[in-house]
Amino acid sequence: MTGPSGVGIGWRPEIAGFVADLPGLRFVEVVAEGVPASGPLPPGLTQLRERAVTVVPHGVRLSLGGAEPVDPARVGHLAAVAQRLDAPLISEHIAFVRAGGLEAGHLLPLPRSREAVDAVCANVARAQADLPVPIALEPIAALVDWPDDELDEADFLTEILDRTGALLLLDVANVHANARNRGADPLALLDRLPLERIAYAHVAGGAEYGGFYHDTHTDPVPSAVLELVGALCARQRPPALLLERDGHYPPAPELRAELDALAAAAGFPAVT
Amino acid sequence: MTGAPHGDPTAAPRAGLAERQAELVAALVAGGPPPPGFAPGPLAATRAALLRKRAGAVARHWPLLAASLGARWTTTFAGWAERRPTAGSLRDGWDLARALHAERALPPPAAEELAAREALLRYDGLRPPRPRRLPAVGRAGGAVAVQIAGRVRLLRPAPRVSTRAGDGVSDAAGSALWISD
């Protein structure tokens, strides 16, 4: 189990064939809730493991930021998946996805308050107690802000990372989206985050509509996001960069070109 | 909230956060009132983005339902789902297909898809669908599907009301597939 390195891609069943054909690939991420805890693995994943490609389970429904304690069964699933994939770490989000008995179906932001920091840290500690590997925490992209934020984004994230000892999964597209939608400077956030704690970084495409930039994962990676990858690497190059694509899959040459552009922006070898 | 000790680390602060998170989720997915202090523009944009994402997920579970509605899919789904929290993509699509069927607004390929699902799984509209143990027939919009030992076959396609193309090939022929989820 080697840590994430170089350029990777989010493994999805729809592009399993494309991913299997990437000769230089050393690292993929898989949505943890889509991997069974027992029984056969999706065949594409088994092949990648046979090639010693690192597979990182990425949880999306743990709700670490929920006011209620995380569901031990969900933590148990993440632990089981990490074990069977021989993963060096797992990742999840600083977000909540359900409350009051309702599923949001999406990652929702927390108030940047002391109370929310306490809630996240307690849940991360609960998860860490049952996980066989370290956890990396990913800050999300959000359109809404809570009205009573006490901390700014950098202080909020740094405090959570300091108190939990967790690694950082920095999503460069989320940094772009949040800054763009608030008229803020994304570089100012990069300058204040503990970049040496990054386990790997996400990169994804998005689109502008309705006056907002949406982190869709179904559109091409915009040049502004690639430039931000360059700016991040100029400060501190993360060990790995991962392209997330979750639908409207383009023809293989276009997806390869995106991976190549990512490698070029970071100075990593091409995996295509 | 009067008299609450401020900054007392021994006070249990969770109720506040839990309630406010529940208010935000209800406003986003269940037609709840906007929580106080949130800017309406970003809230509306988030609600719309969630509905688009949900429509995409349901379309993956119900490809013929989404495809047969074509350009109307996203708005049809959003109109139906706006005040209905998700019960999961399978059930969301199922409930919508039944609702359209009741309104006689279910296109034939979607009727065939619904008939196949009705034959395969038992779904009471309240609890998660479960596999049927015995052979079963599913019907919707004139389509008839039969399930034996977990395999579903479309016995009769839903009638197309469009004018005959005259090429002699039924457009239903291609949809008489074995469907196994």
Interval A229-245: pLDDT, tens: 999 999 999 999 999 99
Tokens, residue B65: 């339902």
Say yes or no for a CB contact (<8 Å) between A144 and B36.
no
Put simply, whether B30 touches A (Cβ < 8 Å) is yes
**pLDDT computed for residue B8 by the predictor:** 45
Q: Residues of chain A with pLDDT > 70: what percent? A: 100
Say yes or no for a CB contact (<8 Å) between B85 and A115.
no
Put simply, whether B31 touches A (Cβ < 8 Å) is no
Residue A22 sits in a domain of what CATH number? Answer: 3.20.20.150
**pLDDT computed for residue B162 by the predictor:** 59
- Position A253 in a domain: yes
Find the farthest-apart pair of alpha carbons in chain B and give their distance in angstroms, rounded: 81
Instruction: Residue A251: give the domain boundaries.
Output: 6-266
Of B13, B16, B21, the CB nearest to A99: B21
Residue B14 pLDDT grade (very low, low, confident, very high; cuts 50, 70, 90): very low
Chain A: closest CA distance from residue B50 (Å): 7
**pLDDT computed for residue A108 by the predictor:** 97
Tokens, residue B41: 């523009």
Show residues of chain A in contact with B24, CB under 8 Å: 99, 108, 144
Q: Which residue of A has its CA nearest to B38?
A: A147
- Position A146 in a domain: yes
Q: Indicate if the pLDDT at residue A158 is higher than 70.
A: yes
- Give the residue from B21, B24, B47 with the most A CB atoms within 10 Å of its CB, the best one to mutate: B21
B144 vs B119: CA distance, rounded Å: 9
- Position A27 in a domain: yes
Summarised one tens digit per residue, pLDDT across range A17-28 is 999 999 999 999
Chain A: closest CA distance from residue B86 (Å): 7
Put simply, whether A130 touches B (Cβ < 8 Å) is no
Residue B4 pLDDT grade (very low, low, confident, very high; cuts 50, 70, 90): very low
Put simply, whether B86 touches A (Cβ < 8 Å) is yes
Q: Structurally, how many domains does chain A consist of?
A: 1
Summarised one tens digit per residue, pLDDT across range B36-94 is 999 999 999 999 999 998 999 999 999 999 999 999 999 999 999 998 999 999 999 99
Chain A: closest CA distance from residue B166 (Å): 35
Give the contacts of A222 (CB within 8 A, at least 6 positions apart). Answer: A176, A205, A206
Tokens, residue A169: 């999964």
A120 vs B21: CA distance, rounded Å: 13
Show residues of chain B in contact with A99, CB under 8 Å: 18, 21-22, 24-25
Summarised one tens digit per residue, pLDDT across range B125-178 is 999 999 999 999 999 999 999 999 999 999 999 998 754 444 433 443 333 333
Of A100, A118, A144, the CB nearest to B46: A144
- Position A177 in a domain: yes
**pLDDT computed for residue B6 by the predictor:** 46
Q: Which residue of A has its CA nearest to B11?
A: A115
Burial readout A44-53 (b: 16 or more C-beta within 10 A, e: otherwise): bbeebbeeeb
Using the 8-state DSSP alphabet, how is residue A103 labeled? Answer: E
Put simply, whether A108 touches B (Cβ < 8 Å) is yes
Chain B from 63 to 82: CB within 8 A of any A CB = none
Average pLDDT over residues A136-151: 95
Q: Residues of chain A with pLDDT > 90: what percent? A: 96
Size of interface A-B (CB pairs under 8 A): 92
Say yes or no for a CB contact (<8 Å) between B39 and A145.
yes
Tokens, residue B22: 């529940």
Chain A from 32 to 91: CB within 8 A of any B CB = 66-68
Q: Could you state, in order of their start, the residue ranges of all structural domains in chain B?
A: 40-161+173-179
Q: Which residue of B has its CA nearest to A248?
A: B56
Output the CA torsion sign for B93, B95, B100, B101.
Answer: positive
Q: Per-residue DSSP letters for A231-244?
A: HHHHH---SEEEEE
**pLDDT computed for residue A2 by the predictor:** 84
